[in-house]
Structure 1
Amino acid sequence: MKRIEEFGEISSLIAPYMKKGIMSNNFMVKDGYEAYIGAGDLYYECSDSTLILLLDCRTHWRIFYHIKGLEAGIVLPADKPLVMELVYKNENEAVVSQLDFWGSRGFRPYIYRQRMNGIPEKLLLESAGKGQHAVKNAACKQAGQIRAMIAEMFDPYLGCIPSLDEVLEYINKEEMLVSEDGSGSILGVLHIGSKNSANFVRHLLVHPDARGKGIAKGLLAHFARSVSGQGDGRIQLWVKKDNISARGLYEWAGFKYDGWQSTGLIKNP
């Protein structure tokens, strides 16, 4: 396993696999590569038929792959859990083949998600967010609490848990919204983002003691109103298939499934 030292290495590694028929789950973009390489966290293993990118997430390895054939041999570390995510539209033969390929190598599916889209003007949120709980941009002093809440309520492997420094960066970019009670205690958190004309819900959570009080609706309403009229105003998110309460909220709000889904795989040492 070799560490990738500079961004230029990526092009030469991936170039042989940029052709039809290659199996891949690699959806990283330039910014992602640069951040991981700069932190010294991106490694690779390659052979004549495979390229495996390994992201060191401290507690686990995250796998991104390019594979030319299902007979390919794979060499992977065994010192901590290995996780990966396959993103696809409709479960076709190619997806099933890849799931079987990794299943024969000790990986098992453990998390399933679906993608949803909504247009703020169509969201049924006008009456939400007008209650007693204020929604505002998070403050830097709240970063530790926000990070702890996200880490507690999202999957430790594929839940995209941000570091404390990343939370501070999001706060400075006004991408962290919080809902507070009268004493300033955080009741809910909405982590948002945007790229081109699309807006994203990255994390949405409500403290267990505050559920059923319209906190999540209020956070979504605030976000929807803030992006209304910007580009096409679309908001996109991913939701776990088995998170019935979250799915119910998004469906009520007017979000629609667009056919894209993902399967998360894990292999424990």
Structure 2
Amino acid sequence: MALADCDRVAQIRVGGWRSAYQGLIPQSYLDGLSVEEDAERRRTHLSQGDVSVVNLVAEVTGGELVGWACHGPHRQGEVRTGEAELYAIYVHPDHVGQGVGQALLTESVARCTAAGHGRLLLWVLKENDRARRFYERAGFRADGAEELFDVEGVTVPEMRYARALPR
């Protein structure tokens, strides 16, 4: 991912949130998401040059960006562990179900394996059945860890998934 990709990645991410989390997160929160603010956050993160965090983009023929994934060290609170974590994976709603997400996930798994990580972890909304099925088809399993976070006064449960990586 390059700085020039930040605006499109923000569109994909915000559109992905609005599509995937409708009914799971308060609509007022989803409506308040800003593509411009998200793009600025992406530019800031990329400009910081943290090489341990990898941002990947997926393009279709013609160069249109249609997906984004981000992975790096697993975070246990503010502490990074030796395991890897998939922080995000989003596909433009018009391209969901076309293999874009699978390609991004496959590349993240390959890069985390090459970096020597033993496991790849991720967090998924407990009620996001579509995402859970996607990760389960890719070999991820819930490992029993759960977290709650508050979105505009609504408690939203997340669960952690893990997949062993080949050594």
User: Does the 8 Å contact 2:12/2:67 carry over to 1?
Assistant: no
Correspondent of 1:167 among 42, 45, 60: 42
Cross-structure match for 2:98: 213
CA distance in 1, matches of 2:70, 2:112: 14
Question: Quick check: 1:142 aligned with 2:5?
Answer: yes
User: Does the 8 Å contact 2:12/2:66 carry over to 1?
Assistant: no
Bigger helix fraction: 2
CA distance in 1, matches of 2:96, 2:9: 17
User: Does the 8 Å contact 1:176/1:192 carry over to 2?
Assistant: yes
Cross-structure match for 1:223: 108
CA distance in 1, matches of 2:134, 2:43: 28
For these two proteins, the number of residue pairs brought into alignment is 129
Q: Which amino acid aligns with 1:207?
A: H
- Residues 211 and 163 of structure 1: is their aligned pair in 2 closer, same or farther, counting only changes over 3 Å? closer
Q: Which amino acid aligns with 2:16?
A: M
Q: TM-score, normalised by structure 2?
A: 0.66
CA distance in 2, matches of 1:208, 1:148: 11
Q: TM-score, normalised by structure 1?
A: 0.43
Q: Which amino acid aligns with 2:146?
A: Q
Question: Quick check: 1:181 aligned with 2:66?
Answer: no
- Residues 210 and 202 of structure 1: is their aligned pair in 2 closer, same or farther, counting only changes over 3 Å? same
Which structure 1 residue ranges, 4+ long, deviate > 6 Å from structure 2?
Answer: none
Cross-structure match for 1:26: none
Cross-structure match for 2:14: 151
Cross-structure match for 1:244: 129
CA distance in 2, matches of 1:254, 1:203: 17
User: Does the 8 Å contact 2:16/2:92 carry over to 1?
Assistant: no
User: Does the 8 Å contact 2:16/2:91 carry over to 1?
Assistant: no
Identity in percent = 25
CA distance in 2, matches of 1:189, 1:222: 11
Measure how far apart 1:229 and its partner are.
4.3
Q: Which amino acid aligns with 1:166?
A: R
Q: 3-state SS of the aligned residue for 1:198?
A: strand
CA distance in 1, matches of 2:11, 2:92: 11
Q: Which amino acid aligns with 2:134?
A: L
Measure how far apart 1:145 and its partner are.
1.7
CA distance in 1, matches of 2:69, 2:93: 15
CA distance in 2, matches of 1:218, 1:208: 16
Measure how far apart 1:231 and its partner are.
3.7
